[in-house]
Amino acid sequence: MAGKKSQLKGNMLIAQSGGPTVVINHSLVGAVLEAKQHPQIKGIFGARHGIQGILEEDFVDLRRENTRFLEKVAETPSSALGSVRKKPTHEDCLRMFEIMQEYDIRYFFYIGGNDSAETASIVNQEAARMGYELRCFHIPKTIDNDLRENDHTPGYGSAARFVALAFMGDNLDNRALPGVKVNVVMGRHAGFLTAASALARQYPDDGPHLIYLPERPFHIEKFADDVKRVYRKHGRCIVAVSEGITDKDGTPIAAAYTKEVDAHGNVQLSGTGALGDLLAHIIREKTDIKRVRADTFGYLQRSFPTVVSPVDAREAHMVGRVAVRLAVRKDVDGSVAIKRATGKGYRVAYKLVPLSAVARETRSMPDRFIAASGNDVTPAFVRYAAPLVGPLPRMARLHDYPIRKRSR
């Protein structure tokens, strides 16, 4: 609802949704700490497991948590309130709204991806229809970095840092014991996280040597040819592949494999090694390269403690804080989007955008971030992602000063 400027008094409800990230609790804690500063916000309730907790009235008292301890929670990975994958029906939204009335909820914050923005949007519409004043905010989070209106999203920088570090180490492992290594990275529709593997490159022959994104169709023959070419040049090859790659008809490559060897399974992209194993199998079949391995980075990408981008943690905190600041200031609803300032240096601003602008659809990697070859990213992408990930350690190689051969 828009228009009124009254100091709206009542309780606040906050919840977390979708795949956790390593900084999602920074957003929760940012919002709670900000809320504590505004007397019109009375109870600060957390719903456990997102909308499921709202529907079950599974609420916890966040005001009783002390600030020092909350700061520890902020540094702890994965949704402290619990999360949920459930998409609410229209009846669910009506029921949630009823419950919010019952608890005198006047401030509602939902931390999540585009689905969460949509949920917030429906609840908000219902409140408007019933003439119940509710300040309704979406707080962005997703390692996929696929929310519209945002330069990037909280959670992405740290997950991208994990991916970059993983490739830095794996590149050295592959250099020590040469062969082909395929690493499958999360990201169903957007290639941002897979693309972050490019940040691992420090020496000219460092991997990943090939990067396959869901934004470009994946051709098995071309893939095999690409690997052969790199292997011929470097004697090894590191490949970054998004779990969401599809063929030219949009069929997930993983699905083709599942049909082939597993009569039971559904197409499960994360939490399975099937795609990596398929790609390794293809290389073994189509080349005479002996050492071929695949790893699927899996859930570690979004939950690994200690691998946190400082910029990401700060921004995750700020989107939570700014959402509350905007909500208490006047009668607005929306999502807090991160906008990057143009010009030199890295600076961002937090802007209010309509819930509908973030809900439902997602965004993909823009063309200017994808190399014309379709198997790499551009320098523009590296410039875009580097500040989000934070400073990476330098990998030091021996100079390999040669010793003259003595054998006759």
Q: Which is nearer to its own copies, 32 or 327 (CB)?
A: 32
Around 190, how many Cα atoms within 13 Å sit in the side-chain half-sphere?
Answer: 21
Closest approach, Cβ 288 to its own copies, in A, equals 14
Phi/psi of residue 41, nearest 5 degrees: -90, 115
Cα Rg, the chain, nearest whole Å? 23
Spatial separation of the C-alpha atoms in residues 365 and 121, rounded to whole Å: 25
First to last CA, the chain: 88
Spatial separation of the C-alpha atoms in residues 102 and 97, rounded to whole Å: 9
Of 227, 272, 239, nearest in space to 254 by CA: 272
> CB within 8 A of 204, min separation 6: which ones?
none
Which position among 58, 61, 104, 144 bears the catalytic label?
144
CB of 176 within 8 A of CB of 349? no
Of 319, 302, 389, nearest in space to 79 by CA: 302
DSSP bridge partners of 212? 241
Active site residue 400: no
Dihedral-angle region of residue 110 (phi above 0 means left; psi in -120 to 50 means alpha; beta otherwise): beta
The amino acid present at 136, given as its one-letter code, is: C
User: Cα-Cα-Cα-Cα dihedral of 14, 315, 309, 30, to 10°?
Assistant: -40
Closest approach, Cβ 337 to its own copies, in A, equals 24
Closest approach, Cβ 305 to its own copies, in A, equals 5
Q: Indicate which residues carry an active-site annotation.
A: 144
